[in-house]
Structure 1
Amino acid sequence: MKHFEDYRGVVDDAVLEEIREKAKAIQGATVAHVNATSYGGGVAEILDSFVLLMNDLGIRTDWRVLHGIPDFFEVTKKFHNALQGQELSFSEEELDLYKFINEKFARFAFLDHDYVIIHDPQPCALIRHIAHTSPWVWRCHIDITNPNPQAWAFMEPYIVEYDRMIVSSEIYKVPDLAIEQDIISPSIDPLSPKNMDLPDQVIEDYLTQYQIPTDKPIITQVSRFDPWKDPEGVLKVYERVKEQIDCRLIFVYNMASDDPEGVKILAKMTEVAKDYLDRGDVLFVRGDDPILVNVMQRISDVVIQKSTREGFGLVITEAMWKGTPVVASNVGGIPTQMVDGVTGYLLEPHDYDGFAEKIRALLEDKSLAQELGRQAKEHVRGHFLITGHLLDYIDLILSL
């Protein structure tokens, strides 16, 4: 089991001492985080380490997962897509189901903590059904720069009941919202199985176990099968790269319990990429094992993230931490963490030729790839590790 002191030597001692000193002011306080899934996706991965470290610092922190049914998660996935700008409409039955599941969970959630932090739209309505005098915070991890009007009109009355809203980037702040808004960047845990250093033998064993060939350069996208991750667009980029360089494309994916779309998009992509899959030029690798994801990000020559919307994109942070060059879309929270031409390359999401050109350049120039990767790792060390994230949340709690 990891402890706070384990990060000594990974981050500056001064950062660790500042966290310890500030945490003393809230030792013994109780904090609850609530989200919609215990696995799959960046929020669950953050909380998996975050809650342990909060407790190690003496801050009594719980993690509650909203209980729902498949129809509920179909509705909340629609909310996720609609708040990111997709044109969708909601029936009264769908809205009633959303309200019912939140009200039902509220009856046995026992959220009587000193501070409550609700993550994303799924449990947002809990605030209306639990009597409280302590501060409640809504943490929005998605891109809400251009939300669907119906979805926002439904969610906003719940949101403004919170004491604070937290977003990942300045561009996500909502003009004229009736509550205060702060920015906290997400983070990765450098000591987690997904990000820790791996011995060469472990890497070799995983490549053998999962039958991952390394006979040609590898381009990898790590993501759910989600329309916003544009898997068909990734395939189009790969086709352009392959015209000049013999290489392999690997989709490393997982399925989250609150995302029913994934199975459908996987089935569609299996048909779209059938010829490449049959030849072994494209591989679909299920990444439920975090060490496997770690391996794939390390052995890839280039990591691509061709999202058309992206709240932040922790898979980019993970790849950067491993020194693997990244070519990504200049959308949402991605440019918050990448410096174009310094820690990777940013392009417009539908610039297929531009993506292919940058990937080819990295495959052809190993020194360029290594330099971008080196600078990317140090950028993550300075800005996007979980220790800094802890400090941000302690500062948030002290300000409430």
Structure 2
Amino acid sequence: MATTVQDVPIHRTTDLELYRELDEFGPAIEELRRLAAEVAAKLGRGRVWMLSSTESGGGVAEMMPRLCSFLADLGIDTRWLVLKPDDPDFFRVTKALHNMIHGEPGLVEMEAAHRIYDRVSREAAHELRQVQRRDLLVVHDPQPAGVAVHLQEAFRPTLVWRCHVGTAKRNACTDEAWSFLRRYLDSYERLIFSLLSYAPQECLERCSEVVPGIDPLSHKNRALRPYKLVGVLRAAGLIDGPSVPDWASFEAPVHRFREGAWTTEPIANLLHVPTIVQISRFDRLKGFAPLLPAFEHLLSRGPSEAKKRRVSSERTESEISRAHLLLAGPDPKGVADDPEAGEVLEELCALQAALPRELRERVHLLRLPMADVKQNALIVNALQRMALVVVQNSKQEGFGLTVAEALWKGTPVAGADVSGIAAQIRDGTDGILIADPTSPESIAEALLRMLSSPLEAETMARTGRARVRDHFTILAQIRGFLRAFDRALEGRGPGA
């Protein structure tokens, strides 16, 4: 079986015009229409194709249907394609490359990696027969980036590469990663990064910055009234209660790790205890592991630390004594392009199982079902809304939309002081930045500040929501894409 590229149907659920009535987005939509008209004029009868590595699991897959729908609403025919490699080693190579781009060790046998990467890229390029010269092909992330060099010149569309990962810090690993990719990136007219500081110096003249953004009207971010929130948690099997009506039942429940086994038992009293929640892919760079000793540190030393502060130590001690830690992520079986996710989850299970019994009962590892995209999004929405604090403890983070998602919901956020998260949170204004995401003491200190100063935490969350509205919605993201497309198409005449 050879590598294939498959069309992904786009199910449109939101009309762009609905945003005119949401938080004064009307002027932004008018600007989008103007920019889109300029891009459409250059495209003529051409269309935009998005090529990514998976249709489920992760921020890119989640973003794609909405992005394609909105561009279509703006008059730009946009389609989504997904790479389906036949070689399991391909995603092992690209996962190692992903780690290296973030400054972590990865590939060892570079030439062998190039052979695997080139073969899959060549076969994928051959499968792109529906993409024509008049079109614009936007390739997302390192996995499919290699197709560009294998496209026949006579049929070669305008090419844009969108990189959703990266770090502003450089070391031998990042240098090796960009050296690996350089031969493939030379074929692109435009390169897009979440932050320009991620771009290799030699590419800056061809680069645009497009920050990711949340969709306020998506199932993950829409408002949930208490009745609906409780219903979602009940349908997911996270809380006990009356039977869910057939029309409201979920295809699959959340699984949680308890006493050495995965179970679908509800979490006792979940709605009656303060919860600290992190939701991310199960990836070592997401910083899950340090959260367990940090939580233990918070429980053991938080009350005495609170007494040293000018806060209500009685209230803080009460909150800490009842707090639970929820670590949630997509079921690894539903994330095709991340072969390490299962290993990371097993490591976390071992760490949780080694905790003292009383602490184990308050630390919950959750495997979120991926069978239905809408249901998965609603579960994430409900968990972020019920949280007392959302934490994003990433060692490296290209952007980290879980931060913007939680802030949009008015939930206080403590996030690691790394590039993508620091771009969203102004420390002490929109949330708390964790100075060292590998240090349990540093993490516990940030969490204690949130728990011991609830008024400050709520104020930061309100400010954070306004910041998300102004800078980190999908409307701002589309504006950035349209400007980058316009630059990429500069050499083409109208309708060429």
TM-score, normalised on structure 2?
A: 0.77
- Is it true that 1:86 corresponds to 2:104 in the alignment? yes
Tell me if the contact between 1:120 and 1:140 (Cα under 8 Å) persists in the aligned partners: yes
**Aligned 8 A contact 1:277 1:283 in 2:** no
Q: Does 1:341 align with 2:402?
A: no
Residue 54 of structure 1: SS of its match in structure 2? Answer: helix
> How far, CA to CA, are the matches of 1:233 and 1:190 in structure 2?
31
Tell me what 2:69 maps to. Answer: 52
Q: How far apart, in 1, do the equivalents of 2:233 and 2:84 lie?
A: 36
Q: Does 1:364 align with 2:452?
A: yes
Check the 8 A contact 2:395/2:418 in 1, yes or no: yes
Task: Please tell me whether the aligned partners of residues 160 and 178 of structure 1 are also in contact (alpha carbons under 8 angstroms).
Answer: no
8 Å CA contact retained: 1:163, 1:179: no
Q: Deviation of residue 93 (structure 1)?
A: 3.0
1:34 offset after TM fit, Å? 0.8
Is 1:319 the equivalent of 2:398? no
For 2:292, what is the secondary structure of its paired residue? Answer: helix
1:205 partnered with 2:205: no
Q: CA deviation at 1:369?
A: 1.8
For the 8 Å contact 2:47–2:77, the answer to whether it is kept is: yes
- Contact 2:275/2:387, CA 8 A, preserved across alignment: yes
For residue 364 of structure 2, give the secondary structure of its aligned residue in structure 1. Answer: strand
Match of 1:378 among 459, 466, 488: 466
Structure 2 CA distance for aligned equivalents of residues 66 and 271 of structure 1:
34
Report matched runs for 1:388-399 at 5 Å: 388-399=476-487
Mapped partners of 1:64, 1:80: distance in 2: 21
- Percent identity over the alignment? 32
Distance in 2 between the 1:226 and 1:285 partners?
14
Counterpart of 1:99 (choices 97, 105, 118) is: 118
Q: Aligned residue for 2:52?
A: 35
Quote the residue 1:299 is aligned against.
Answer: 386
Shift of 1:59: 0.3
> Alpha-carbon deviation of 1:301?
0.5
Alpha-carbon distance between aligned partners in 1 of 2:356 and 2:221, rounded to the nearest angstrom: 28
1:128 corresponds to:
149
Alignment deviations for residues 324-355 of structure 1 (CA, whole Å, 9 cap, x no partner): 11111111211111111100011222343232
Q: Identify the residue that residue 165 of structure 2 maps to in structure 1.
A: 142
Among 340, 363, 367, which residue is 1:286 paired with? 367
What is the one-letter code of the residue matched to 2:474?
I
Rounded Cα–Cα distance in structure 2 between residues aligned with 1:337 and 1:277 = 36
Structure 2 residue matching 1:214: 3-state secondary structure: helix
The one of 22, 27, 32 equivalent to 1:14 is 27
Question: Gaps (5+ residues) in structure 2?
Answer: 1-12, 239-265, 303-319, 371-375, 489-496
1:216 aligned to 270, 273, 281, which one? 273
Distance across 2 between alignment mates of 1:178 and 1:346:
29
Equivalent position of 1:230 in the other structure = 287
Return the offset for 1:306: 0.9
Offset at residue 144 of structure 1 (A): 4.2
Partner secondary structure for residue 465 of structure 2: helix
In the alignment, does 2:324 pair up with 1:248?
Answer: yes
The one-letter amino acid paired with 1:398 is: D
Map Cα deviations across residues 112-140 of structure 1 (whole Å, 9 max, x no partner): 25211111100011001113454211111
1-structure distance, mates of 2:90, 2:353: 32
Residues 96 and 105, structure 2, Cα contact 8 Å, conserved in 1? no
**Amino acid aligned to 1:159:** L
User: SS where residue 8 of structure 1 aligns?
Assistant: helix
Rg (Cα) greater in structure? 2
Question: What SS does the corresponding residue of 1:64 show, helix, strand or coil?
Answer: strand
Specify the code of the residue in structure 2 equivalent to 1:67: K
Give the distance between the partners of 1:386 and 1:192, measured in 2 at CA. 10
Letter in 2 for 1:226: D
> In 2 relative to 1, CA 310–377 (structure 1 residues): closer, same or farther, beyond 3 Å?
same
Amino acid at match of 1:224: R
For structure 1, which segment, 308-317 or 90-99, has the greater mean C-alpha deviation from structure 2 after superposition? 90-99
AA of the residue aligned to 2:89: D
Aligned to 2:338: 259
Q: Does the 8 A contact of 1:165 with 1:179 survive in 2?
A: no
CA displacement at 1:157 relative to structure 2: 1.3
Match of 1:77 among 69, 92, 95: 95
Q: Give the stretch that moved more between structures: 336-345 or 361-370.
A: 361-370
- C-alpha separation between the residues in 2 aligned to 1:178 and 1:375? 33
TM-score, scaled relative to structure 1: 0.95
- Amino acid of the structure 2 residue aligned with 1:137: V
Instruction: Quote the offset at 1:169 in angstroms.
Output: 1.2
What are the within-5 Å matches in structure 2 for residues 147-162 of structure 1? 147-162=173-188
DSSP-derived class of the 1:99 partner: helix
Which secondary structure does the structure 1 equivalent of 2:272 belong to?
coil
